[in-house]
Amino acid sequence: MKKTRAFLKWAGGKYSLVEAITAKLPKGRVLVEPFVGAGSVFLNTQYDAYLLADINPDLIDFYNLLKNSPEKIIRVAQSLFVANNNQQQAYYDLRDAFNLSSDPVDRAALFLFLNRHGYNGLCRYNRKGEFNVPFGKYKKPYFPEKELWFFAEKAQKATFICECYSNTFQRLEPDHVVYCDPPYVPLSSSANFTTYAAKGFSLDDQALLARLARHTAQERQVPVLISNHATALTYELYRGASLDEIQVKRTISRSAGNRNKVGELLALYLPGMVFDGG
């Protein structure tokens, strides 16, 4: 089956891992993603329905608009993808417009513009909640019309909600399957969790998610698959789950020469498994 790309550029996007993830995902009626991000797994699986959550309200608002009013949002967004806007000052003017706007359609269209014109497709906000990614200096940013329409059509099977991952776990039912793509742990022990804590995802959250996955499989009989960096910490956190490590290229680096392969860990929690402790 031909893979479908997400219309958003997204740090940590799962397009390159889709085959490995779908091979591990159990059967079920509804796929639940508490960290949906750009939605590569959603776009490349075939469940009857989807429950897709994220804590980023701009992302979820965009998805709901695209689901319900695709023609309007695509038309408005496309009007921004012109050569005159692909300049530094125009980018910063439109970034300011996004940060000041409360109009749902304008804000969504600008969100897509910033995603495709900003540095490395990053999505980052300052402490005031203002989008602050710098200009990306791309020759001709691609307008993903085909990908937007594909997403809009598939979104008819999906419910999009803006909430914390722990709340999404409370919604689970027996015919659900969960895939979690949380903010990853740092690759080196010298790194710290300040960047994750700033996004509301700390080392405690990493441990809580692992406990939730164990509890969900054991007590609620709902399978959970988690992806993360393969480190000593994640091997310990996911101890007792079915673990697969695969090598993938990192895609967050702007320089292709710096995109080294790193280990990714897929941890599968299945009903009936016996886990040590916790």
> What is residue 72's predicted lDDT score, i.e. its pLDDT?
97
199 residue type, one letter: K
DSSP H or E segment with residue 229: strand 224-229
Average of per-residue pLDDT values in the chain: 91
Contact between residue 124 and residue 12 where contact means Cβ atoms under 8 Å apart: no
> What is residue 197's predicted lDDT score, i.e. its pLDDT?
40
- pLDDT tens readout for residues 42-79: 999 999 999 999 999 999 999 999 999 999 999 999 99
- pLDDT tens readout for residues 163-213: 999 999 999 999 999 999 999 988 765 554 444 344 568 889 999 999 999
Contact between residue 149 and residue 39 where contact means Cβ atoms under 8 Å apart: no
Question: Cα–Cα distance between 108 and 131 in angstroms, integer?
Answer: 13
> What is residue 196's predicted lDDT score, i.e. its pLDDT?
39
> What is residue 188's predicted lDDT score, i.e. its pLDDT?
67
> What is residue 187's predicted lDDT score, i.e. its pLDDT?
78
Question: Cα–Cα distance between 165 and 180 in angstroms, integer?
Answer: 9
DSSP H or E segment with residue 162: strand 158-162
Residues paired with residue 244 on neighbouring β-strands, in sequence order: 266
Residue 255 has phi, psi (to 5 degrees) of -90, 120
Percent of the chain residues past pLDDT 70, beyond the cut: 90
- pLDDT tens readout for residues 90-120: 999 999 999 999 999 999 999 999 999 999 9
Question: Within the chain, where are the H helices?
Answer: 18-24, 40-43, 57-68, 70-78, 88-100, 104-117, 145-154, 165-169, 194-198, 203-219, 232-237
Residue 233 has phi, psi (to 5 degrees) of -65, -45
| Residue 278 pLDDT exceeds 90 | no
Say what the alpha-carbon torsion angle 253, 267, 194, 129 is, to the nearest 10 degrees.
Answer: 80
Model confidence band, residue 29 (pLDDT cutoffs 50, 70, 90): very high
